C-alpha cells in the first residue's frame, strides 16, 4: 500500500511507528551510498543527489573545516506522519505544499540564530575538554537544529529530500546558487519529478500567502522545468529564471520586477543572465 494511504489508515501510534520504521529501513537500504554531500574536504562539492540520503551520510554546509552534521536523525519522519494525520494530507501535491509548514515547525524560522554556534554549543554540552569537543563535533546530527531557529537552506532541503523520497516522490537534492533580485547566495534546494515535467522547490525562501493583506501561511516556491530544461539545468549548469510570486486571497500574483535565478553546480551567477523564462 502507498505509504501516505497507509498512514491515513492507521488507528494507533504503534501502527504509525511500525510503518514508518519499516519505510525508513527500506529507503536506507535501497539508497545510493555516499559518504558526504555538499562541500567536500578537498575544495570541491557535490551539486546533486537523487533519492533518499543514507543515514550515515555527512553533510558539509560550508567550505570551512568544522561545519558538518550527519543524517542519523529520524524523529522527524514520525512527527511528519502525525502531521499528515492532523492536517489530513491526502495526496502528494498537498504533501509537497504542507511540507513547508512542517519544516518551520520542526526547525523554527530560518536564520534567526547562527547555526555554527548551535552546533558548537551542542558539542560542548557533551564535552569536558577539547578532545571530547572535537569527538562530539563528529557526532552532531541534523536533529541538533530542531527548534533552534538556525537551520538554513542545506538543512531544510535535506529534510525535505528525506520526506519526499520516503513517500516515493522522485526528488533531487541540489547545491548551486540563487539570485533573488536582492542578492546572491550559495543555495540548496530540491527538484521533484511531476507527471510530465519537473518542479524546482525552494523550502528556504518560500512564498507568502496573504488574506486581507495579512500573511496567513507560507508555501515552497515552485518553478516549473520541462524535461529538456531539467536535463540542461542539472547536467549542464544552465541558469534558469523564474518570475517571483506570492498568493493573495488564494490567487497567485507575480511580484513586479522580481526574478529568481537558480543554477545547479555553480556557486555564483555571472551577469548578464542569458536564459529567459
Residue 144 is given by DSSP the state G
Question: What's the pTM value of the predicted model, to 2 decimals?
Answer: 0.93
Residue 274 has pLDDT above 70, yes or no: no
The pLDDT, as a whole number, for residue 271 is 59
Residue 45 or residue 74, greater confidence: 74
How confident is the model over 200-242, as pLDDT tens digits?
A: 999 999 999 998 889 999 999 999 999 999 999 988 888 999 9
Mean pLDDT of the chain: 91
Q: Which of 218, 197, 198 is nearest to 208 (CA)?
A: 218
Q: Which of 257, 245, 259 is nearest to 210 (CA)?
A: 245
Instruction: Tally the C-alpha atoms within 13 A of residue 203's C-alpha that lie toward its C-beta.
Output: 34
Go through 19-44 and write b for each residue having 16 or more CB atoms within 10 A of its CB, e for each that does not: bbeebbeebbeebeeeeebbbeeeee
The pLDDT, as a whole number, for residue 272 is 46
Residues paired with residue 221 on neighbouring β-strands, in sequence order: 202
Amino acid at each position: 500500500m502507498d505509504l501516505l494511504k497507509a498512514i491515513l489508515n492507521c488507528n494507533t501510534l504503534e501502527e504509525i511507528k511500525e510503518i514508518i520504521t519499516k519505510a525508513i529501513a527500506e529507503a536506507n537500504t535501497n539508497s545510493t551510498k555516499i559518504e558526504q554531500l555538499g562541500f567536500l574536504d578537498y575544495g570541491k562539492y557535490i551539486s546533486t543527489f537523487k533519492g533518499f540520503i543514507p543515514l550515515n551520510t555527512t553533510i558539509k554546509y560550508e567550505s570551512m573545516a568544522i561545519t558538518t552534521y550527519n543524517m542519523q536523525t529520524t524523529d522527524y519522519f514520525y512527527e511528519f506522519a502525525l502531521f499528515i494525520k492532523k492536517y489530513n494530507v491526502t495526496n502528494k501535491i498537498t504533501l509537497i505544499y504542507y511540507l513547508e509548514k512542517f519544516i518551520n515547525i520542526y526547525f523554527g524560522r530560518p536564520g534567526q540564530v547562527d547555526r555554527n554556534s548551535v552546533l558548537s554549543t551542542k558539542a560542548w554540552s557533551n564535552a569536558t575538554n577539547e578532545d571530547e569537543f572535537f569527538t562530539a563535533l563528529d557526532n552532531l546530527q541534523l536533529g541538533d537544529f530542531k527548534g533552534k531557529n538556525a537551520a538554513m537552506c542545506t538543512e531544510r532541503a535535506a529534510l525535505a529530500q528525506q520526506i519526499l523520497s520516503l513517500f516515493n516522490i522522485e526528488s533531487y537534492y541540489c547545491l548551486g546558487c540563487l539570485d533573488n533580485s536582492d542578492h546572491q547566495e550559495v543555495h540548496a534546494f530540491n527538484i521533484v519529478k511531476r507527471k510530465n515535467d519537473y518542479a524546482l522547490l525552494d523550502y528556504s525562501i518560500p512564498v507568502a500567502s496573504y488574506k486581507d493583506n495579512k500573511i496567513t501561511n507560507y508555501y515552497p516556491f515552485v518553478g516549473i522545468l520541462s524535461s529538456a530544461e531539467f536535463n540542461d539545468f542539472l547536467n549542464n549548469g544552465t541558469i534558469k529564471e523564474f518570475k517571483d510570486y506570492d498568493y493573495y486571497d488564494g490567487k497567485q500574483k507575480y511580484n513586479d520586477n522580481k526574478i529568481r535565478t537558480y543554477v545547479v553546480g555553480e556557486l555564483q551567477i555571472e551577469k548578464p543572465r542569458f536564459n529567459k523564462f
